[in-house]
Each structure stands twice: as C-alpha cells, then as structure tokens.
Amino acid sequence: MTRQPKTGTCIFCDAEGSLEGEHVFAQWLRKALGIPGYRKHQVRLGPALHVARQWSKPVATSRVWCVCRACNHGWMKELEDQVKPHLAPLARRGPVAVPAPAAARLLVAWAFKTAAVGQEMQPNRLKPIDSAARQYLTFPRPALETTGDHVRIVR
C-alpha cells in the first residue's frame, strides 16, 4: 500500500507544499447521519485480488492528503459551513425542500468538491474530475446556474 504524500500539489489551487488531510465526508455529516460502529476495510490488488492491507476504523472517516491549508481552512470550510444547514436535514430526515437556486448551488458545489476529494483516495487511479474542472470551485467562486433540474457551473 502506497502512503499518501504529505507534500505535493493542492488539487484545487495548484499550490505546492504541505498538504492537509481532508475528510472525504466531513465529521459533522457523519454525526448528522448517525453512522455508528466500525467497518472493516481491505485493499485488494492484482488479478487474484489478494488482500494487500486490511484494517478496521469508524465508518466514513477516510482522509486524503490533497489540499493546501489555504483551501482547506478557506473556501472549503466556508462551503461546509454554508451547506450544513441544508445538507444536515437531508441526511437526518431524507428529502426536504431547499431554497433554490441558492441552496441548490451550495449542494452541487459541495457534491462536486466531495467527489473531487474522494477520487484522490488511494489506490484509486480513475480521476474523471480533472484539474480544469476543479478550478471552478476555487475563487473567484463561479456562478452555478440552475434551470429546471439541471445545474451548470459557469464562469
């Protein structure tokens, strides 16, 4: 198993240097979902899918070292803080009405950010959200246009 480097290039702003461990799912969301207990994890490799590594840890606590401090404590924290009032009720109670388009924009941005971070998990090599797409989330914050059931990220 390859350990994630603690230095490198931030996936969002391309800054080079120390990287911070970002939870794929924020801890507030884990608490909102009420996910209890531990889950076994395995990394299987090769055509025979032999177990290369296994461990047990609380559910939904994976972190990836892929973002710089400025992004993690700046716009990413701001996005988590802004989406929490809308996403936490969704997590706890299921479908709820959210004020569109403002809340829809936040939820789409959060989902996109979460997917971009999640694709950095080791040993994943499939990364369909490329650097150009990730740039849309960094400042200057892009506009998210909603029309009906479609959302577009535009500059």
Given the rule CB under 5 A, which residues bind Zn ion? 10, 12-13, 15, 68, 71
Shortest separation between residue 134's beta carbon and Zn ion, angstroms: 10
Shortest separation between residue 47's beta carbon and Zn ion, angstroms: 37
Shortest separation between residue 28's beta carbon and Zn ion, angstroms: 21
Nearer to Zn ion, 110 or 151 (CB): 110
Distance CA 87, CA 36 (A): 19
Is the CA virtual torsion 50, 52, 57, 63 positive or negative?
Answer: negative
Specify which residues 117 forms β-bridges with: none
Nearer to Zn ion, 68 or 116 (CB): 68
Report helix, strand and coil shares of the chain as percent, to nearest 5: 35, 25, 35
Nearer to Zn ion, 42 or 131 (CB): 131
Nearer to Zn ion, 64 or 68 (CB): 68
Looking from the CA of 138 toward its CB, the CA atoms found within 13 Å total: 18
Q: Are 79 and 136 in contact (CB under 8 A)?
A: no
